[in-house]
Structure 1
Amino acid sequence: MNTNTNPYYNEKTMLFFNGKFKKAATTTTDLYGQTLHYGYGAFEGIRAYNTSSGTKIFKATEHYERLKKSCELINIPFQYNIDELIERSYELLEVNNLTDAYLRPIVFCDPNMSLSKPNGVNIMICAWKWGTYLGNNLLNLAVSSYCRPHPKSIKIEAKVCGHYINSILATNEAKNKGFDEALLLDTDNFVAEGPGANLFFEKKGQLFTPQLGNILPGITRATIIELCKKLDIKVHEGQYNLEQLVDADAAFYCGTAAEVVGIRAIDEKEFQLDWEKSLGKKLQSAYKNLVLEQELVLQNQ
């Protein structure tokens, strides 16, 4: 690989691997690993922000606790101390001279060609400067022909490597049709989520979001619900069909990588409420204030 053109690291980039800081360009892993062959691993996406009080990793504890839970749900041993992982994450940002950054911890397995428990487990944390994943423009979504996996077929609440094949297929299908991103339904044809983000929609001054059970319990999703309580915005969690979504006034996606991004249309049917006047826009601003620790701005909105 030509490290001079790699968007994630260069010859100076350091990562954290099994207790040590190593150069990303020269660190290797085994090609017979169980995670490489079967997708048997768990990961997280975390953001750090350059706040008024220095670089802060947003909800680091919640993310690493979810990483631990994901591993436990799929029977991968997790013997790491969360406080130490957070400390190493800050050190990683420092050695790479990063302030605003995206961090990717991943727990992956040793060589094992059987469909059995891991022979051994590894952890890696890397970081890079990354803009908003879905951009800053309003999104045009396509309803995907792929649905979210049935919760009885996988641990839907675990952030597992192999689950994201579903996301890749849905995203590529949408982009090949000229759309910005996909929208997935669940196996009962209720609205679920995006390939890498949770969904909210607005109707008559209130917000609605798919209930847990068929979606990833997003940390940003939970943060948005917390913000709604502070801003006195009513939020409903339930099962909603596509007709209810299309008939909404406005909608948005949210996630660690995407942050908060508005949706223009579903299958070319545009939402009628001006995004600048929507609850999503208000929450987009409130979320940015929160992660940048500009709490006073949030309280005065």
Structure 2
Amino acid sequence: MLTDKINMNMQYYNQHTYIFLNGDFVKASEAGTDLFGQSLHYGYGVFEGLRAYSTHHGIRIFKAEEHFDRLQQSCEAINLPYEWNKQQLIASTYELLDKNNLRAAYIRPLVFSGANMHLTAAASANIMIAAWEWGPYLGQNLLRVCTSSLERPNPKSFPVEAKVSGQFVNSILASNEALKRGFDEALLLDQDGFVAQASSENLFIEKDFKLYTPPLENVFPGITRQTVIELCRELHIEIVEKKLTIQEVLAADSAFLSGTAAEIIGIKEVDGVAYKEDWEHTIGASIQRKYKKLVLEEENYEVII
């Protein structure tokens, strides 16, 4: 069982922890929120997830610009005001890590709206950035995955390319269902019955020495997903974006998930069907090793960064 994922008592902050809030650094224990805000009542907010790594060049936030660009794009997708400068936010995030004495951390920017009980676009918004020590979200071991009874939200009803707070109720329900059934993670199908993604990660499968991943039509445009694609090009690994059936996923040689929080994590089995290929000899394992070297800056992949 994934103790990291189901541990509801994890301490994300203490009385000494700082957060960044609307341009200032304040104690997390002293920060408050408006109980009449749309973000609290309706999930009308957006967030991002970044990782900082301790490298031989010092503390580095992996693909910080891409993440803050996507934060702005998510706000624009749901008409949430965004008035912050990207470079200033990145600098403030590094300062936040320093204030909290963090060298390797997970970073959570959150844009949330103020008081408004109407179902109308927000007139103003706030930004908060927090950081804490957090290992790989899904742990280190190969995963047991099941097909969820829930579907990925329909892109015609919701901007699925945006990282919107309220959308992740779908992820919580799917993940919780999987855990209750004794699995580690869930795969969600789209409205047409094709495999979309896991609750909060993108999916890749290997078949006959090629990688396949669902197209962006109904999956989240993960930055780690794009990094995997870029690594494949650098390593001359053929990768194909196509709609996948659950039958194709079950018949694959191997499979893995990708995400900033989870990083690269292999799948042992789906719906009780185990992959026969030894993980250490798969393309996914090679990508996992290359990804770790990339984020730790142990190899020169400037073209990717």
Superposition pairs for residues 122-133 of structure 1, below 5 Å? 122-133=126-137
CA RMSD across the alignment: 1.2
Instruction: Confirm or deny that 1:223 pairs with 2:223.
Output: no
2:4 corresponds in structure 1 to: none
Superposition pairs for residues 82-231 of structure 1, below 5 Å? 82-231=86-235
Which one-letter code corresponds to 1:121 in the other structure?
A: A
Superposition pairs for residues 1-301 of structure 1, below 5 Å? 7-295=11-299
Which one-letter code corresponds to 2:269 in the other structure?
A: A
List per-residue Cα deviations over 1:17-67 (Å, max 9, x = no partner): 000000001110111111000000000000000011000000000000000
Listed as ranges, the gaps of 5+ residues in structure 2 are 1-8
Whether the aligned pair in 2 keeps the contact of 1:289 and 1:297 (CA below 8 Å) is no
Which one-letter code corresponds to 1:161 in the other structure?
A: S
Which one-letter code corresponds to 2:108 in the other structure?
A: R
Listed as ranges, the gaps of 5+ residues in structure 1 are none
CA displacement at 1:213 relative to structure 2: 1.1
Distance, in Å, in 2 between the alignment partners of 1:196 and 1:50 is: 25
SS in 1 for 2:98: helix
SS in 2 for 1:295: coil
Distance, in Å, in 2 between the alignment partners of 1:297 and 1:157 is: 27
Whether the aligned pair in 2 keeps the contact of 1:182 and 1:195 (CA below 8 Å) is yes
SS in 2 for 1:229: helix
Distance, in Å, in 1 between the alignment partners of 2:101 and 2:41 is: 34
CA displacement at 1:119 relative to structure 2: 3.3
Whether the aligned pair in 2 keeps the contact of 1:47 and 1:57 (CA below 8 Å) is yes
CA displacement at 1:240 relative to structure 2: 1.0
Whether the aligned pair in 1 keeps the contact of 2:257 and 2:265 (CA below 8 Å) is yes
- Provide the identity percentage: 53
SS in 1 for 2:29: helix
CA displacement at 1:6 relative to structure 2: 5.5
TM-score (normalised: structure 2): 0.95
Q: What is the aligned length?
A: 294
TM-score (normalised: structure 1): 0.96
CA displacement at 1:7 relative to structure 2: 1.1
Distance, in Å, in 2 between the alignment partners of 1:165 and 1:218 is: 18
Whether the aligned pair in 1 keeps the contact of 2:80 and 2:124 (CA below 8 Å) is no
SS in 1 for 2:154: coil
CA displacement at 1:296 relative to structure 2: 5.4
Distance, in Å, in 2 between the alignment partners of 1:79 and 1:72 is: 11
Distance, in Å, in 2 between the alignment partners of 1:67 and 1:6 is: 26
